Structure formats: C-alpha cells, structure tokens
Amino acid sequence: MTGELSPIDKAKFVAAKRAAELVEDGMRVGLGTGSTAAWLVRHLGDRVQDEGLRIKGVPTSTRTAQLARDAGIDVITLDEAGTLNITIDGADEFDANLNLIKGGGGALLHEKIVAAASEEVVIIADAAKEVGTLGAFPLPIEVIPFGWTTTQMLVDELLVSADVMGRRITLRMNGDKPFRTDEGNHILDLHLSRIGNPRQLAMALNQMPGVVENGLFIDLCDKVIIGYSDGRVETRDINEGTVSEEHINLVETDNLFSDI
C-alpha cells in the first residue's frame, strides 16, 4: 500500500506517525485540519483501537471532527476541555523561527484558538513547506460577510505601506459561491509573495474592522516534525534548540488509510 502513495503523502504519513507517538494516555489533544492532520487522526485512531489509548480530541473543524469520530477518538469541545495538553496540526508554510502560514483548509480561526489553548503546539509537514521567508503561499484572512468588500478595500490600503512584495487579494470561492468557514465567514487570500515582517503584519491585519483573524501564526509553534518520502523524520524543538533525526519504516500494510 505504501507503494501507492505519492512521495509527498509518504512524507506526511511518517511525520504524522511520529507526532502521534507524542500523545500519551489521558491527554486532551487539539486535532488540526488538512491533509497532513488527517493522517495524524488516523494514526491516533489506530493507537486507540490497538493500544487502548484514552484521549479526548478537540477538532478544529467539522471535517476533522467527523474523521476523529470515524477513527474511534472521543471528541469533545474546547469549552469542555478547557486547556489542552498538546495540539498537532499541519501548516502551509513555516520559516526558521517556526512562524507559520495556516488556513489553506479554511479553519484558521479555530486552529489559532485551539493552538493558543495548548501547552504545546506541534506542527507536522513535508519538507516542501519550509521557506526562507513567508509569503509564497497566499495568506488567508477570515472576514465577516457584512461589508466584506469594504474590509478588502481597507486591507488593500494597509498593504500599500506593508513590507510585502505583492498586493493581489482574492475572495476564496466554493464553486460559484463564496467559501464559508465553520463560523459562516468568508476568507480573503492575500497574494503577497514575500512577507518581510510577519509579526507587524499580523498585528495590523487584526486591527482592521471586519477582519476576524489572520493566518499568520507567530510564536505559537513549539516543535516542527518534518517528514521525508524515504521515511526520515526530522524534529526541531525551538524551545530546547535541538534538532533530531530518525527513520520510520514504511511497512507494507493493508491499513494505510487509502481514502485520505
């Protein structure tokens, strides 16, 4: 079955498998959204079934919630959990300081709230997600539907004086209708090419009327686990300043979640 996976999927698979090993019995776990986080949910579901692992999962989207229930994970709300022991999620980009762009899956608001409630945030990714400077991936911002064109205009004016390379803004669509987040909001994707000062831009965007949240995750990530198609896994811990590498066998098995 591993032979049927693309190199990127193999990289996501091993990164998620390594991250799943960080989860201990009794933990309250934030579950991210997206293709890499989906692998994590399935790995955790395997541990629940095979090892009797007992955890409470707090999903960041309705899609992840359904995946977790299907995998046998006990799902609760963040209000029920209070605080979380660990959150494991993917990212669209990360830099050397483990600053992130997230929101490609449309769940950035819930993802940031869950991350902020966690004692530890672990990001899982394939090596292609690492960049020297954030911004090649469009930066999502969640905006309320009321007056969204005015919000877009205000953001465009902000970008004139921001340290970015591009300024094109597009409304994310779902077919012929605007994409709706789980909170019923729209997403504007900012095509910036390069973000010179992510911290400053994140603060400025969140001061704009109509902007609910932005996809820049600054000082939230504690650890990144990078997967490679040959089974190598690299773990970088920004708090301890350590980098470690190991190898995870891509064992031929009939239980490799071919529906991901």
pLDDT digit string, tens, across residues 131-184:
999 999 999 999 999 999 999 999 999 999 999 999 999 999 999 999 999 999
| CA–CA gap between residue 28 and residue 55 (Å, rounded) | 6
Contact 89, 60 (CB under 8 A): yes
Contact 18, 235 (CB under 8 A): yes
| Judgement on whether residues 198 and 73 belong to the same structural domain of the protein | no
CATH code (residue 31): 3.40.50.1360
| Judgement on whether residues 44 and 126 belong to the same structural domain of the protein | yes
Residue 256 forms part of a structural domain: no
Catalytic residue among 24, 51, 93, 111: 111
Residue 41 forms part of a structural domain: yes
User: Residue 260: what pLDDT?
Assistant: 43
| CA–CA gap between residue 259 and residue 80 (Å, rounded) | 30
CA angle 35, 40, 44 (to 5 degrees): 150
Number of structural domains in the chain? 2
Instruction: For residue 123, list its beta bridge partners.
Output: 89, 224
For every residue of 137-170, DSSP letters joined together read SPEEEEE-STTHHHHHHHHHHHHHTSSBS--EEE
Choice between 257 and 9, residue whose per-residue pLDDT is larger: 9
| Judgement on whether residues 15 and 86 belong to the same structural domain of the protein | yes
Residue 230 forms part of a structural domain: yes
| Judgement on whether residues 193 and 160 belong to the same structural domain of the protein | yes
| Judgement on whether residues 199 and 71 belong to the same structural domain of the protein | no
Residue 3, pLDDT above cutoff 90: no
| Judgement on whether residues 148 and 194 belong to the same structural domain of the protein | yes
User: Residue 258: what pLDDT?
Assistant: 44
Q: Which domain holds residue 169?
A: 139-212
Residue 256, pLDDT above cutoff 90: no
| CA–CA gap between residue 247 and residue 14 (Å, rounded) | 9
| Judgement on whether residues 127 and 174 belong to the same structural domain of the protein | no
Residue 259, pLDDT above cutoff 50: no
Residue 48, pLDDT above cutoff 60: yes
Residue 1, pLDDT above cutoff 50: no
User: What letter does residue 117 receive in the DSSP assignment?
Assistant: T
User: What letter does residue 220 receive in the DSSP assignment?
Assistant: -
Q: What is the mean pLDDT of residues 122-135?
A: 97
Residue 172 forms part of a structural domain: yes
| Judgement on whether residues 33 and 108 belong to the same structural domain of the protein | yes
Residue 34 forms part of a structural domain: yes
| Judgement on whether residues 122 and 158 belong to the same structural domain of the protein | no
Residue 252 forms part of a structural domain: no
User: Residue 257: what pLDDT?
Assistant: 47
| CA–CA gap between residue 78 and residue 61 (Å, rounded) | 12
| Judgement on whether residues 186 and 231 belong to the same structural domain of the protein | no
pLDDT digit string, tens, across residues 167-226:
999 999 999 999 999 999 999 999 999 999 999 999 999 999 999 999 999 999 999 999
The sheet with strand 86-89 has its strands ordered as 74-75, 56-59, 28-31, 86-89, 121-126, 223-227, 232-237, 242-247
Let me know if 111 is a catalytic residue.
yes
| Judgement on whether residues 66 and 93 belong to the same structural domain of the protein | yes
| Judgement on whether residues 113 and 18 belong to the same structural domain of the protein | yes
Residues belonging to the binding site are 33-36, 89-92, 102-105, 129
CATH code (residue 197): 3.30.70.260
Q: Report the chain's C-alpha Rg in angstroms.
A: 18
Residues belonging to the binding site for substrate are 33-36, 89-92, 102-105, 129
Residue 63 forms part of a structural domain: yes
